[in-house]
Structure 1
Amino acid sequence: MTTPLLIRAAHPSDAALLVDLIRELAVVEGFPHPVTVTADDLQASLFGPQPAAHALVAQADGEVAGFAVYYETFATTTGKRGLHLDDLFVRPAFQGRGYGKALLAHVAGIAELRGCARFEWWALNTNEPALRFYQAVGAQRMEELVVHRVQGSAIRDLARS
């Protein structure tokens, strides 16, 4: 790393900034779905009385360099908690300085402190730079897993079926 990176927990005042970063990430990775998140959504989900997830903000050179969002999971096969990294993003101007690895290592440290048996994340199969990065840090690609999703009104339809 060239400039020291400050990684801190996101604050409620960061909600609008996080929305901007999420939108930047979606553009960079070619995310194929609309990004509909609002600052109010993040206020409720990240900073409410029972947060669904936690966010980190990375700063360097007096600017925001990136962010990460993670949440706890549970694995019945181990009987232990896990940590899921929902987003990891370093702005293009800050890439190549080791900041992505520093953010990833920071979240891994949180997983270790919480006694997690595993730390995992998903990546778009078209995001080759991310896939190479994750392989380079020693992450195992789980080819045998397929992600399934029900969203929007389909959740209600399934719940009422």
Structure 2
Amino acid sequence: MAVDVRWATTGDAAALAAMLCEMAVHYRQPPIDADRALSASQKWLDQESPAYPHFALAFAEGEICGLASVAIAHPGIDLERLLFLKDLFVRENVRNAGVGRALMAFLAGHCLREGIGRIDLTTEDWNEGALRFYDGLGADRHGQKVFLRLSGEALKAIAIKS
């Protein structure tokens, strides 16, 4: 299957929204309202900077089939930027058909062209398919970091009141 990958543009809001809705179900989250997903997608894509896009989309035969959500972080202790892969999601009907690999190749090529030194990512410990996929790409598992999150009440409690 031929897979085309590109950075998302404002015209891709509906495709991105559809992927976000499917992704929520896959990651065992409550279903996302389609209108809410479309509104968020339009807002995010309107705010995208050409220098730092946030969503790569994969298409096969003109249909959306995968997405990568990323952020660029400046610099780490080694003075190299990194690309943080927040989510990589491929529609179930095209898993194991090269879509994920095409997305990762696109991101790796972007990193090399832009002088970005590495791709960091996380995945759930229960997601055996993702773990096998990243192992197959040659990803190293690092146990040096603990994943933490501030959200909800904790986020409110530490926020500066303006």
**2:89 partner amino acid:** F
Q: Aligned equivalents of 1:62 and 1:160: distance in 2?
A: 46
Q: Aligned equivalents of 2:9 and 2:61: distance in 1?
A: 19
Q: Is the 8 A contact 1:73 1:83 kept in 2?
A: yes
TM-score of the aligned structures, taking structure 2 as reference length: 0.84
Count of matched residue positions in the alignment of Structure 1 and Structure 2: 158
- Give the match for residue 131 of structure 1: 131
**1:43 partner amino acid:** Q
Give unpaired runs (5+ residues) of structure 1. Answer: none
- Give the match for residue 159 of structure 1: 159
Deviates more, 1:37-46 or 1:134-143: 37-46
Task: Say if 2:46 is the partner of 1:47.
Answer: yes
Give unpaired runs (5+ residues) of structure 2. Answer: none
Runs of 4+ in 1 over 3 A off after TM superposition: 33-37, 49-53
Cα deviation for residue 106 of structure 1 reads: 0.5
Deviates more, 1:18-27 or 1:128-137: 18-27
**1:91 partner amino acid:** R
- Give the match for residue 38 of structure 1: 37
Task: Say if 2:7 is the partner of 1:9.
Answer: yes
Query: Percentage identity across aligned positions?
Result: 33
Deviates more, 1:132-141 or 1:90-99: 90-99
Alignment deviations for residues 89-135 of structure 1 (CA, whole Å, 9 cap, x no partner): 11111122212111111111111111112111111111110011001
Cα deviation for residue 42 of structure 1 reads: 2.7
Task: Say if 2:92 is the partner of 1:92.
Answer: yes
